[in-house]
Amino acid sequence: MHTEQIIGSTSFAQKIRIGVLGFGGLGQAAAKVLAPKQEMILVAAADNKGYAYATEGLNAQKCITTYQSQGSVGYLEPFGTLTNHSIADLIESNQPVDGYFLALPNLPNDFIATVTKQFIDSGWRGVLVDAIKRTSAVEQLLTLKEELQTAGITYMTGCGATPGLLTAAAAIAAQSYAEIHQVVITFGVGIANWEAYRATIREDIAHMPGYNVETARAMTDAEVEALLDKTNGVLTLENMEHADDIMLELAGICSRDRVTVGGVVDTRNPKKPLSTNVKITGRTFEGKISTHTFTLGDETSMAANVCGPAFGYLKAGIKLHQRGIHGIFTAAEIMPQFVK
Ligand code: NAD
């Protein structure tokens, strides 16, 4: 590992070298989040047509402009490579990267697990973090625990907003209670246009009645637009299959059937249709029933609430890795570290 922790301090002697896999809405936001950081540096980015790598760091704005104007960071001069196997080629290039944020669509539902196996098989050692959403997707990753341990990889899963920030808030709020009755997560997302977050929107559609991951994945952009036209751009989601449930169950907080997730996504207005919140209801040791509510500020975007936690957990993962702790951890069992 390249990073050396200064003993007794939280600062790192050298910057943590970050790769961002997937350079759509979240990947680009991740690059912008990293740009002013002193402890982390973006050295690699990949999309489905290419990748870019620079030891001294990639310029976030140049990567974004290249991606938006030419369709791939692979066109970035002189750091880009065009390839249809960007992830495999980037890993095989053996460039030193300490941690990767997987800002990839999980379409099909085992895609991120497949990418994880590529990392395991490659001999690369470091930290992986995802913002994966479905319970069944997290379950697949959990089966890789021993392989990740053997490979020397520390994998942080479910580290976006929900699952992620809100799940962690629920884990903290639970401490007031002797018994947890219910965890209710309700998110509001406002984005100016759905094309900025195609995978997020397709994956949300997959939760609607009459759709599943495969049908949503197979939809053309025109079909997504036609669906959004019918709903005036608004998706209302209830009882979603969200990994907050398994994460809180694994953390020993409550059984998964006590956790519910739903939300409203407006794809035509950056203003949130409702305030994202998590309500944790339980019984105190005195026998009182109460509810804690943690509400995100309406001005915070989905991108801010996903990418901030993702890098906070990546930093926590680096510290675990440095202590020789490998395997897989969720956002509900580890505290994220603030990245300076
Ligand atoms: P997007 O559609 O905007 O971008 C996806 C990117 O991945 C594109 O750059 C694309 O080129 C790249 N890509 C696709 N296939 C690839 C491949 N085989 N190899 C390399 N790159 C590939 O996606 P998005 O809307 O930014 O969403 C990314 C993920 O984040 C989704 O899975 C979404 O569900 C998740 N997400 C999680 C949360 C949370 O709170 N946990 C919130 C929002 C989004």
51 CA distance to ligand 1 centroid (A)?
Answer: 15
Q: Is 81 in the pocket of ligand 1 (CB under 6 A)?
A: no
Catalytic residue among 15, 203, 242, 321, which? 203
Say which CATH architecture domain 3-160+303-330 belongs to: 3-Layer(aba) Sandwich (3.40)
% of the chain with per-residue pLDDT over 90:
96
pLDDT for 6 beyond 70: no
Catalytic residue among 15, 49, 207, 326, which? 207
- Tens digits of residue pLDDT in 24-58: 999 999 999 999 999 999 999 999 999 999 999 99
Confidence class for position 4, pLDDT limits 50, 70, 90: very low
pLDDT for 5 beyond 70: no
Residue 10 has what pLDDT?
A: 45
- As a whole number of angstroms, the distance between CA 219 and CA 54 comes to 36
Residue 13 has what pLDDT?
A: 65
Residue 274 has what pLDDT?
A: 98
Residue 102 has what pLDDT?
A: 98
- Tens digits of residue pLDDT in 225-254: 999 999 999 999 999 999 999 999 999 999
Report the Cα–Cα distance between both ends of the chain, in Å, rounded: 19
List the residue whose alpha carbon is closest to atom 44 of ligand 1.
200
List the residue whose alpha carbon is closest to atom 33 of ligand 1.
200
pLDDT for 15 beyond 50: yes
Q: Is 330 in the pocket of ligand 1 (CB under 6 A)?
A: no
Residue 7 has what pLDDT?
A: 38
Residue 1 has what pLDDT?
A: 46
Please report the atom of ligand 1 found closest to the CA of residue 131: 41
- Tens digits of residue pLDDT in 152-192: 999 999 999 999 999 999 999 999 999 999 999 999 999 99
- As a whole number of angstroms, the distance between CA 247 and CA 14 comes to 32
Confidence class for position 3, pLDDT limits 50, 70, 90: very low
- Tens digits of residue pLDDT in 113-154: 999 999 999 999 999 999 999 999 999 999 999 999 999 999
pLDDT for 333 beyond 70: yes
- As a whole number of angstroms, the distance between CA 234 and CA 189 comes to 10
- As a whole number of angstroms, the distance between CA 202 and CA 99 comes to 27
Give the CA distances from residue 80 to residues 24, 58, 85, 317, in Å, rounded to whole numbers and listed in that order.
Answer: 17, 10, 13, 28
Q: Is 302 in the pocket of ligand 1 (CB under 6 A)?
A: yes
- Cβ neighbours around 107 below 10 Å, total: 18
Confidence class for position 12, pLDDT limits 50, 70, 90: low
47 CA distance to ligand 1 centroid (A)?
Answer: 9
Residue 108 has what pLDDT?
A: 94
List the residue whose alpha carbon is closest to atom 39 of ligand 1.
160
Is residue 133 annotated as part of the catalytic site, yes or no?
yes
Please report the atom of ligand 1 found closest to the CA of residue 106: 32
Residue 236 has what pLDDT?
A: 97
Query: What is the overall mean pLDDT for the chain?
Result: 95
Would you kindly state where each structural domain of the chain is located, as residue ranges?
3-160+303-330, 165-298
Q: What's the whole-model pTM score?
A: 0.95
Is residue 62 annotated as part of the catalytic site, yes or no?
no
Give the CA distances from residue 290 to residues 80, 256, 279, 295, in Å, rounded to whole numbers and listed in that order.
Answer: 54, 20, 10, 16
Residue 9 has what pLDDT?
A: 43
At 340, list the tokens: 């300076």
List the residue whose alpha carbon is closest to atom 37 of ligand 1.
131
Mean predicted confidence (pLDDT) in 84-90? 98
